[in-house]
Chains A and B, each alone.
Chain A
Amino acid sequence: MKKAFAKMLIVFAAALLIGAPQAAQASDLKGELEIFSWWAGDEGPALDALIEIYKKENPGVKVINATVTGGSGVNAQAVLKTRMLGGEPPDSFQVHAGQELIGTWVKADRMEDLTPLFKEQGWLDAFPEGLIKLIGTDKGIWSVPVNVHRSNVMWYIPANLKKWGVQAPKTWDDFLAIAPKLKAEGVVPLALAQNWTANHLWESVALASMGADNWDALWAGKLSFDSPEVVKAWELYGKVLQYTNSDASSLSWQQATDMVVDGRAAFNIMGDWAAGYMSTTKKLAPGEGYGWLASPGTEGTFMFLADSFGLPKGSPHRDNAVAWLKVLGSQEGSDAFNPLKGSISARKDSDLSKYNAYSQSAAKDWNSNRVVGSLVHGVAANDTFKNGFASIMEMFLKAKNPQAAAKACAQLAKKAGI
């Protein structure tokens, strides 16, 4: 009996000895960490991979994964807003990098400046300069980007194009030249889905029409929304719309992509989550099964959007939240998350061998192209503008009046403080 007790003691001591160095490595943070996001379903595993890393490094912290489902955070943002107004912020919350964060939360003085963290972790060099400019103001840097998606991509099926005898257009003029031919063959030249994808198409067309410099000037308030450049963009957009499907408003973006895959439509402009959809769900090989180009007229420009996490003022477990942000910005966290999410890492030094062919090409462009912000996905403009733009788009889809749309945008911009 005594012997057994001694044995147990020895085992216990040994366990302590082996365990001790590990315990020293892991942080001694305690308490809870509430992470607020809209990543569920397909995107859940990617978030879990990050939480896994966090738990390994901070075993003492109980992670609460507060997810509110709903595409691009429609529902989550409403819940978040009521929580923040009620004085009950989560420890860290997901938000699209850029004006969606700055125009709403930073302007309201609800966020902590993360510049010290960026300096301490050496992130100022790890992330591209253009990106840091878009997630920061002259008062600081406001979020840690976890991933980067590209918005201006045109998708097609190479075999179908060969069958119809057309080539993927490099400019919108090229597109307008081949579109009637496709239409005559009973093929929809450009597949479109519900409202937000129309906005998505608009930003690609407008970027091509006015160029990256004017695009940036527009959001900096240096180019007015009723200037001839913008009116021209609306005119071009109206022309492109003629070649889209008429049942667009009842389709989801996946259904629009399906039209391309099934050969009912020739092209589709969609963000690069479409690559994930076609590779994973439709089992097409990137490059052979499906092809892509920068959307017409925007080659050399990378229109980006990024999911990021910020640190609200009054976060109940601030230290735990800072440790969470460190995981998000690290190379390890980034490369665990992004291959699962189908996006690329915002860091310049990510391990490209972990990504598929499309992501590798996107990562190459990310490092070499001019980076501009997306409107629809919260980088370029704040919530007020974005919400108003959706109704201006509906007005335009009905009346097709470029002048009126441009004027309405100008009024909206004034109201939104651009």
Chain B
Amino acid sequence: MREASLDKLKAFLTLLPSMILVGVFVYGFIGNTIWTSMTDWGGSGAMALEPQKHFVGLENYIDLFTGFLGGNFRQDLVNAVYYSVMLLAGAVGLGMFIAILLDQKPKGEDLLRTIFLYPMSLSFIVSGTIWRWLLAPQGGVNVLPKYLGFEPLTFKWLSSQSAVLVFNWQDILRILVYVAAFILILVGVFKLKKDAGRAMKRWLIPGIVLGALVWVFGSILPDALFMEEEHGFNLATLGIIIATIWQYSGYTMALYLAGFNGISQDLRDAAMLDGASHAGYYRHVAIPMLKPITISAVIILSHISLKMFDLIFAMTGPDNAATGHPALNMYLTTFRGNEFSKGAAIAIVLFLIAAMFIVPYLVGQYRQQGRR
């Protein structure tokens, strides 16, 4: 008994320094940033030795989401969503596809693996510069068809001004409720097979009712803005998405390949013996077994997509609304515009979005451990 408590004390003392350091430098600073984001630190006196700060509550956040001058931040936020979705789909999909091909043990597999993994070792600023040249309006990709005797492409990978899937920010509340209704219905449809009654009661009916309510009474919901403001998926972001997928699909490939190699050959043979085709083996056996790998890839990549900075800086420059990103906006607002409180508010918004990805994962992990 005594020895055990001594051990506990030792463990505690060993952990104490890092607990204090993490407490101060992670949680303390998060707290400080939250506090800063609720003040009015900025403007002409921002650099004073003792800057004047006043508590203003959520004003900075309200400004960002509904203020007249926050338009750029809102566009950046929309961009960030598209960056995340496309990067996840692209890098996970492509990485998995390459991993499946390499899993067939082609000749020179080691060499190919190295080649595909290599882009990871480049820094974003280097690959950004290379891709900037490749995607220049009159260069690289666009002149490729010329070598085959066709007309060169004219697509503006990085400087297109057009957008698709345009929506009006004014309607953001309505859109959010529609999305919520859609998700409810979707979950309901998936659960329909298992337990029809519960799926109806819990998911489908609330979803349909919610959707119908907005459809009929949507105009009661307040407008977010007094004027129309359109945001959408800017075609100029395509270039940046391509570069990011190129850089990170090798990484997901390595993750999946390790996973595939970890599946025992017996299992594969058994599946084949039962008459599974190659595609069937991957679809029903291998990929479901690698769910933890998929989840960790999604979490790491979503993190990266929220921290996109240097690649955009190198490819399209700091001021380009079409390809902007909240992280870039935060840096410019803080260190170029001297708006420290507003920069802090953007940081907290990003932090909350990142938490949206991480927290469910952590909760899931703890639950699994608890079950064990």
Cβ of B118 within 8 Å of any chain A Cβ, yes or no, is no
Cβ of B259 within 8 Å of any chain A Cβ, yes or no, is no
CB of A204 to closest CB in B, whole Å = 18
Cβ of B321 within 8 Å of any chain A Cβ, yes or no, is yes
* A window 161-198: CB within 8 A of B: 194-196
Stretch in A217-225, A274-282, A356-364, A391-399 touching the partner: A391-399
Tell me the complex Cα distance, A394–B158, Å: 15
Given contacts A394-B319, A416-B44, contact A388 B337 (CB under 8 A): yes
Residues of A within 8 A of B245 (CB): none
Given contacts A195-B317, A195-B319, A394-B321, contact A104 B338 (CB under 8 A): yes
Residues of A within 8 A of B72 (CB): 391, 394-395
Cβ of B322 within 8 Å of any chain A Cβ, yes or no, is yes
Please indicate which of the listed interface residues B42, B45, B49 has the most CB atoms of chain A within 10 Å of its own CB.
B49
Please indicate which of the listed interface residues B47, B158, B236, B318 has the most CB atoms of chain A within 10 Å of its own CB.
B47
Cβ of B294 within 8 Å of any chain A Cβ, yes or no, is no
* A window 69-116: CB within 8 A of B: 74, 77-78, 81-82, 84-85, 87, 103-105, 107-110
Cβ of A227 within 8 Å of any chain B Cβ, yes or no, is no
Given contacts A391-B321, A394-B321, contact A411 B69 (CB under 8 A): yes
Tell me the complex Cα distance, A387–B95, Å: 39
Tell me the complex Cα distance, A228–B169, Å: 28
Residues of A within 8 A of B69 (CB): 388, 391-392, 408, 411-412, 415
**Interface band, chain A:** 35 or more
* Contact indicator per residue, chain B 61-103, by CB within 8 Å of chain A (1) or not (0): 0000000110110000000000000000000000000000000
Residues of A within 8 A of B158 (CB): 249-250
Cβ of A384 within 8 Å of any chain B Cβ, yes or no, is yes
Tell me the complex Cα distance, A110–B49, Å: 8
Tell me the complex Cα distance, A391–B330, Å: 13
CB of A76 to closest CB in B, whole Å = 11
User: How many pairs of A and B residues are in contact by the CB < 8 Å rule?
Assistant: 124
* Contact call B161/A417, Cβ cutoff below 8 A: no
Tell me the complex Cα distance, A386–B332, Å: 11
* Contact call A383/B338, Cβ cutoff below 8 A: yes
* B window 297-344: CB within 8 A of A: 316-322, 324, 331-333, 335-339
Residue of B nearest to A417 (CB): B44
Residues of A within 8 A of B51 (CB): 108
Residues of A within 8 A of B42 (CB): 384
* Contact call A250/B137, Cβ cutoff below 8 A: yes
* Contact call B48/A108, Cβ cutoff below 8 A: yes
Given contacts A387-B336, A391-B72, A415-B69, contact A81 B47 (CB under 8 A): yes
Tell me the complex Cα distance, A195–B332, Å: 14
Please indicate which of the listed interface residues B136, B158, B319 has the most CB atoms of chain A within 10 Å of its own CB.
B319
Residues of B within 8 A of A408 (CB): 68-69
* Contact indicator per residue, chain B 43-60, by CB within 8 Å of chain A (1) or not (0): 111111101000000000
Taking a contact as CB atoms closer than 8 A, the residue among A74, A84, A250, A398 that contacts B336 in the complex is A74
Residues of A within 8 A of B46 (CB): 104, 108
Cβ of B39 within 8 Å of any chain A Cβ, yes or no, is no
* Contact indicator per residue, chain B 223-253, by CB within 8 Å of chain A (1) or not (0): 0000100000000100000000000000000
Residue of A nearest to B156 (CB): A247
Tell me the complex Cα distance, A397–B158, Å: 15
Given contacts A109-B48, A247-B159, A411-B68, contact A384 B322 (CB under 8 A): no
CB of B228 to closest CB in A, whole Å = 10
**Interface band, chain B:** 35 or more
CB of A367 to closest CB in B, whole Å = 33
Residues of B within 8 A of A78 (CB): 331, 335-336
* A window 367-415: CB within 8 A of B: 382-384, 386-388, 390-395, 397-398, 404, 407-408, 411-412, 415
Residues of A within 8 A of B336 (CB): 74, 77-78, 383, 386-387
* Contact call B48/A397, Cβ cutoff below 8 A: no
Residue of A nearest to B339 (CB): A384
* Contact call B337/A84, Cβ cutoff below 8 A: no
* Contact call B159/A249, Cβ cutoff below 8 A: yes
CB of A408 to closest CB in B, whole Å = 6
* B window 129-156: CB within 8 A of A: 132, 136-138, 156
Residues of B within 8 A of A194 (CB): 316-317, 319-320
Tell me the complex Cα distance, A386–B336, Å: 8
* Contact call A246/B159, Cβ cutoff below 8 A: yes
CB of A36 to closest CB in B, whole Å = 15
Given pairs A107-B45, A387-B339, 20 additional interface contacts (CB within 8 A):
A78-B335, A78-B336, A81-B338, A104-B47, A105-B47, A108-B45, A108-B51, A195-B318, A196-B319, A250-B132, A382-B338, A383-B338, A384-B43, A394-B72, A397-B161, A397-B321, A411-B68, A415-B69, A416-B44, A417-B43
Residues of B within 8 A of A (CB): 42-49, 51, 68-69, 71-72, 132, 136-138, 156, 158-159, 161, 227, 236, 316-322, 324, 331-333, 335-339
23 CB contacts below 8 A, A to B, read A82-B335, A87-B49, A103-B44, A108-B45, A108-B47, A194-B316, A195-B317, A196-B319, A246-B161, A247-B137, A247-B138, A250-B316, A387-B336, A387-B337, A387-B339, A394-B72, A394-B319, A395-B71, A398-B321, A412-B69, A415-B43, A415-B69, A416-B44
For the complex of A and B, list the 6 residue pairs with the smallest distance between their C-beta atoms, beginning with the closest.
A387-B337, A394-B321, A195-B319, A78-B335, A108-B47, A391-B72
